[in-house]
Amino acid sequence: MAKLIGIPASPGVAIGRVLPVDRRRARVPRYHVQPEQIDPEIARLDKAVKESVEQLQQIRKSLGEGEQGDILDAHRMMADDPTLLEGARQLIRDELLNAEWAMRRMVRDVSEKLGSEGYLAERRADLDEVCDRIVHNLIGEQPLPAALPADDSVIVAYDLATADAAVLLSSGKIRGLVTDFGSKTSHTAILARALEVPCVVGAGQASEIAKSGDVIAVDGHSGEVLISPDREEILRFEMARAEAKFREAALLEERELPAVTTDGRRVYLQANIEFPEEVASVLAHGGEGVGLYRTEFLYLNREELPTEEEHYRSYAAILKQMAPKPVVIRTLDLGGDKLPIGHRSHEPNPALGLRAIRFTLRHPQLFRTQIRALLRASVHGELHIMLPMIAAVGELREARKQIEAIKAELAGEGVPIAEKIPVGIMLETPAAALAADRLARECDFFSIGTNDLIQYSLAIDRGNRDVAYLYRPLHLGVLRLIQAAVDGARQAGIECAMCGEMAGDPAYALVLLALGIDTLSMNPSDIPPVKRVLRTANLADAKKMLEAAMAFSSHDEIERYVLEEMKKRFPQLISDAGRAAGERGL
Ligand code: PEP
Ligand code: MG
C-alpha cells in the first residue's frame, strides 16, 4: 500500500478504481512551408481553430449553468481570440512556419508575458490547453478521452486539463480525483468543488505509483490518498465515508431550518470562504450568510495588484448570489507571511509585524482601491465590511475616517452605494478583547478570530508544529477573553460573531452557545453538524456545563470534561478523530 498526503481541495471520501488520465500534450511537428503554400496553410489553421471552437461549444452545452460552464466559455473565447489567430497567421506568412508550429510559438509568446506563478499562471495553463486542442485538430487527433469511465472511477492524473475535467467530472461517473500537481485555486479544483467530487491535488507522485484498476481511497477533507490499501484501511475510509454521508443526510434534512436551541436561543450559522466560487457550497450547506470572505486571496499568488474592477467583480458576484443574506467582506489581511509575489517581507517577526489593518493603513492606496470596489458593490446585496486585527481604537477610527472619505468621493462622482453598510472589526488580540467595551462603541459588530486570538494569547505560532500541542481553544485564558469580547458587545448592543476554526468544531458548540456568541462562521461543510448540536441543545444546560468547565484550572481538565460531556450528549457527532492536541485550529 502507498500513502500520500496532498492538498485537500474538495471535501468527501471516495473509494474506487484508478482511472489514469494523461495530460496528453500534442506533439508539435515543426517545418517550413513554401511561399505558395502560405494560403492553404492559413486555411488549415483557420479550419482547426473553427473545429476547436465548435468542440468547446459542444462541451459547454453539455455542462449547463455554473462555474464549469464559465470556464469552458473562457476557453472558447481564447480559441476564438482574433489576436492569437492573427499572430499565428502572421508567423505563417512572415516566417513560413507550419500551422502547428506557428500556433505553439504564438501561445508561448503570450504565455511568457503571463509569468510562471499564481493566478496568471493558471490562465497560462488554460491557454496551453486551448493550444493543445487546436494542435490536436491540426494533426487530426481526437483531443478528448475516447472511453467513458466506469462507475467507480477515481481519476489519477499528473495534471488534468480543465476541459477534460469538465467532461469527465460532469459525466456523474467519477467518484474522486487526485492530481500530482495543482493548487486549491486551480480550475480543476474549483470544478471539483462546484461538482462536489472529492478531490486531492498536489499529491506528489500519485500518477506514477497508481496503476489502472488499482483500488484507491481518497479523503478530500484530510488530503489522504491510499493506493492499494489493505482491508483495514478500506474499512477506516468506509467509516469516514459513512460519517460523511451521515453529515450529508443531516444537511438535507435541516438545511432550511434555523439553529435554535430547544429553549429558544437562536444562533446564526454562516460560512467562511476564500473564493467567490465557494458561494454555491455555502448555500448548499445551509449557510445563512458569508461570515468571512478572506479577500487577501485576491492578492496572493500573483504578481500584479488586482484592479478596482477585479475587486468589484468578485464582491458583486458574491453579494448578488447571497442576497438578501448578509456577506461579511474582510478588508485585506495582508502582511507578515501573506504578501503578493514580489513583495517579500523581511520582518524578523512577521506575526507581530506590519500585517492586517496596520499594513493597510500604511498603504492607503491599496485600502482605497478595495474600499471603492466594496462600496460600489454594496448595492448588490447586504454588505458588511470587516476590518482585520484591530488592536487599538485609533486604528478603527483611522480606518473609518478613510472609509467615510471614500464614500464622499463616490457621492461626488454620483456613484450609488447602499444606504447602510455596517463596519465591524475582528477581535484577534488579547488587548482588543479586554478593551472590547470601548471598541464596541465605535463599530457595528465584532467577529472573534480565534485562530489569531489563541496564537497571540497563548504565545503560540499557529503555523509551528513544534508548539501545536499547546494550541488549546479551551484554555481558561482564552475562554475569559471570549467572555470579555461578548460582554463588551452586549454593553454596546452590537452583535458578536466568531469566525476562527473553533467556531466550526461541534465539540465546542455548547461552550460557545453558553458564552453568548450570536453568529458562528465556519467552513461550509462544518455547518450541518454544528447546527445539529445546537438544535438539540438547551441553553440552560450549556450554561451549567460551561460553569462546571470553567471551575477547572488546567486546559487538560477543561478539555477532558467538555469532550466527555459532549460525547455523552452527541455520541455520533463528537469523536476523538483529529483531536490530538493542535490538530484543529491550525
Ligand atoms: C482568525 O484569526 O481566527 C481568522 C479567522 O483569520 P485568519 O485565519 O484569516 O487569520
Ligand atoms: Mg486572523
User: CA separation (Å) from 194 to 67, 70, 524?
Assistant: 7, 12, 13
| SS3 labels along 33-77 | CCHHHHHHHHHHHHHHHHHHHHHHHHHHHHHCCCHHHHHHHHHHH
**What helix, strand, coil percent values describe the chain, rounded to 5?**
55, 15, 35
The ligand 1 atom nearest the CA atom of 388: 6
Q: Which of 387, 428, 450 to mutate to test the pocket of ligand 1 (most atoms within 8 A of CB)?
A: 428
**In 3-state terms, what secondary structure has residue 555?**
helix
- The answer to whether 429 touches 383, Cβ cutoff 8 Å, is no
C-alpha to C-alpha distance for 399 and 393, rounded to whole angstroms: 10
Residue nearest to atom 6 of ligand 1 (CA): 449
Active-site residue identified among 75, 131, 136, 187? 187
Nearest CA to 377 among 340, 299, 322, 426? Answer: 322
CA of 449, nearest ligand number: 1
| Ramachandran bin of 356, using left for φ above 0, alpha for ψ from -120 to 50, beta for the remaining angles | left
Q: Which of 273, 332, 333 to mutate to test the pocket of ligand 1 (most atoms within 8 A of CB)?
A: 333
Q: Does the beta carbon of 296 sit less than 6 angstroms from any atom of ligand 1?
A: no
Using the CB atoms, write b or e for 47-64: b if 16+ within 10 Å. ebbebbbebbeebbeebe
Q: Does the beta carbon of 504 sit less than 6 angstroms from any atom of ligand 1?
A: no
So what's the pLDDT on residue 579? 54
What is the residue whose three cell numbers read 464559465? 70
CA of 552 to the centre of ligand 2 (A): 28
Q: Does the beta carbon of 336 sit less than 6 angstroms from any atom of ligand 1?
A: no
The ligand 1 atom nearest the CA atom of 428: 2
Note if 187 is an active site residue: yes
CA of 54 to the centre of ligand 1 (A): 45
CA of 17 to the centre of ligand 2 (A): 40
Cell of 168: 469527465
Residue nearest to atom 4 of ligand 1 (CA): 449
Residue nearest to atom 1 of ligand 1 (CA): 449
Q: Does the beta carbon of 499 sit less than 6 angstroms from any atom of ligand 1?
A: yes
C-alpha to C-alpha distance for 361 and 367, rounded to whole angstroms: 7
CA of 492 to the centre of ligand 2 (A): 23
CA of 297 to the centre of ligand 2 (A): 13
Nearest CA to 49 among 81, 95, 26? Answer: 81
Q: Which residues pair with 511 in a beta bridge?
A: none
Q: Does the beta carbon of 500 sit less than 6 angstroms from any atom of ligand 1?
A: yes
CA of 29 to the centre of ligand 1 (A): 51
Q: Does the beta carbon of 331 sit less than 6 angstroms from any atom of ligand 1?
A: no
Q: Does the beta carbon of 338 sit less than 6 angstroms from any atom of ligand 1?
A: no
Q: Where are the beta strands (DSSP E) in 286-407?
A: 290-294, 326-330, 382-387
Q: Does the beta carbon of 326 sit less than 6 angstroms from any atom of ligand 1?
A: no
CA of 337, nearest ligand number: 1
Q: Does the beta carbon of 440 sit less than 6 angstroms from any atom of ligand 1?
A: no
Residue nearest to atom 7 of ligand 1 (CA): 451
Q: Is residue 219 packed enough to be buried (19+ CB in 10 Å), middle (13-18) or exposed (0-12)?
A: buried
Sign of the C-alpha dihedral computed for residues 520, 526, 527 and 531 taken in this order: negative
Q: For each successive 10 residues of the chain (586 residues), what is the average pLDDT? A: 88 92 72 92 94 85 69 84 91 93 88 65 75 85 60 90 77 90 73 84 89 93 92 91 77 87 98 87 93 86 80 96 98 76 69 91 95 98 98 98 98 97 98 98 97 93 75 95 98 97 93 98 89 95 98 96 95 64 38
Q: Which of 273, 299, 390, 426 to mutate to test the pocket of ligand 1 (most atoms within 8 A of CB)?
A: 426
Q: Does the beta carbon of 473 sit less than 6 angstroms from any atom of ligand 1?
A: no
CA of 432 to the centre of ligand 1 (A): 15
CA of 450, nearest ligand number: 1
What is the residue whose three cell numbers read 500551422? 99
Note if 499 is an active site residue: yes
C-alpha to C-alpha distance for 568 and 562, rounded to whole angstroms: 10
- The answer to whether 219 touches 20, Cβ cutoff 8 Å, is no
Q: pTM score > 0.85 for this model?
A: no
Rg (CA), the chain: 26
Q: Does the beta carbon of 333 sit less than 6 angstroms from any atom of ligand 1?
A: yes
Nearest CA to 219 among 203, 232, 205, 208? Answer: 203
Q: Please give the domain boundaries of the chain with CATH numbers for all domains.
A: 2-23+145-250 (3.50.30.10), 35-139 (1.10.274.10), 254-584 (3.20.20.60)
CA of 386 to the centre of ligand 1 (A): 12
Q: Does the beta carbon of 450 sit less than 6 angstroms from any atom of ligand 1?
A: yes
C-alpha to C-alpha distance for 54 and 200, rounded to whole angstroms: 31
Beta-carbon count within 10 A of 235 CB: 11
β-pair type (259-260, 266-273): antiparallel
Cell of 400: 473609518
- The answer to whether 400 touches 422, Cβ cutoff 8 Å, is no
So what's the pLDDT on residue 583? 39
CA of 292, nearest ligand number: 1
Count Cα atoms within 13 angstroms, Cβ side, for 462.
21
Residue nearest to atom 8 of ligand 1 (CA): 451
So what's the pLDDT on residue 170? 75
Q: Does the beta carbon of 428 sit less than 6 angstroms from any atom of ligand 1?
A: yes
